[in-house]
Every structure is written in C-alpha cells, then in structure tokens.
Amino acid sequence: MNYLKFTLFLVIFSIATVKYTSAQVTVGVYSNGILTQLGAGTDPEKEFFGEGRLFAGDVLNPFFGAEAIGQYNFHRSDWYNASAGLMLGYYEFDDGARIGAPVMLAFKPISNHRAFSIMMEATPLYNGDFGLRGNFGLRYTIGKN
C-alpha cells in the first residue's frame, strides 16, 4: 500500500508544480527494451526541472514502480540540451527504494517545432546492488510556443 501513498504524492506534486510553472508541462514515454515508463514534468528548458514517472507494466512485467527525478541543465541550445540530476524511486519487483544519477541528452530535431525532443538517458542505479539503466524516449512540452 505504500506505493499508493507515493503515487498520490507524485500526483499532488505534479499538479502543484504545473500550477506554478507558467502552465508548461512535459509528457514523455521512455523505454529500455524491458520496461516502459510514462512521465510528466516541468519545463525542461529551465535551468532546473523535474519529472515524475510511472512504470507501464505488461504481461511479462506486471509490477508497479514510480520515480521522481530532479535535473539541472548544464547545457541548453536550440538543437539539444544536456542535463544531470538525482532520481529517487520505488519498484515493487525488488521491494524497495532505488536511487540514481540520470544523465540525459534531449535532441530537438525539428527546427520549427522545438517542443518535441528525442531523449537518451543513462542512469547509474543503487538498490542494494549497483546497476546501469539506459533509456530511449520521446518527450513533448505542452504550452510551449
């Protein structure tokens, strides 16, 4: 039942964050070939931004998981952004918390539509054991001109 409290916290946090970030929110879908994540977050063009993710399970992986990610953009340009940050999460499969340090590259390939980006992410993880997760995804910023 702890994951329900965590999910409620993420929903309330996301609503509060969207209210105070000039109505710009990002939505994304990420995959590493095994797990798929659905995300929503704040404006990724700001110096600091955040995102909440839920694991979208299927028949092979029906387990629940949620993550909260805080990122710092150390390079922003018209064509790509590079950022790094901290990730805290819960995953039902291994019954516990996990912590990570995601490093992301967001490519904006369409010159007259910068709200769309292609994401690549590498995250060193710790949940009792060390691991490395690589994600590929698509992200769209709603409300961006």
Write down the domain spans for the chain: 2-142
Provide mean pLDDT across the span 85-113: 88
pLDDT value of residue 91: 83
Of 5, 67, 80, nearest to 36 by C-alpha is 67
Highest-confidence range of 24-28, 68-72, 91-95, 128-132, by mean pLDDT? Answer: 68-72
pLDDT in tens, 12-24: 555 555 445 455 7
**What integer pLDDT is reported at residue 1 of this predicted model?**
47
pTM for the whole thing? 0.77
Judged against a pLDDT cut of 80, whether residue 95 lies above it is answered with: no
- Given a cut of 70, whether residue 141 has pLDDT beyond it is yes
Residue 144's pLDDT band (boundaries 50, 70, 90)? low
Estimate the share of the chain in helix, then strand, then coil, as percent rounded to the nearest 5: 15, 55, 30
CA angle, residues 131, 5, 120, in degrees to nearest 5 = 35
Tens digit of each residue's pLDDT (9 = 90 or more) over 29-70: 998 877 889 999 998 989 999 999 998 777 777 778 899 999
Give the CATH class of 2-142: mainly beta
Rg (CA), the chain: 15
Name the nearest CA neighbour of 121 among 139, 106, 99.
106
CA–CA distance, 25 with 33 (Å, rounded to integer): 26
Q: Are 90 and 82 in contact (CB under 8 A)?
A: no
Indicate the burial class of 55 (C-beta count within 10 angstroms; 0-12, 13-18, 19 or more). buried
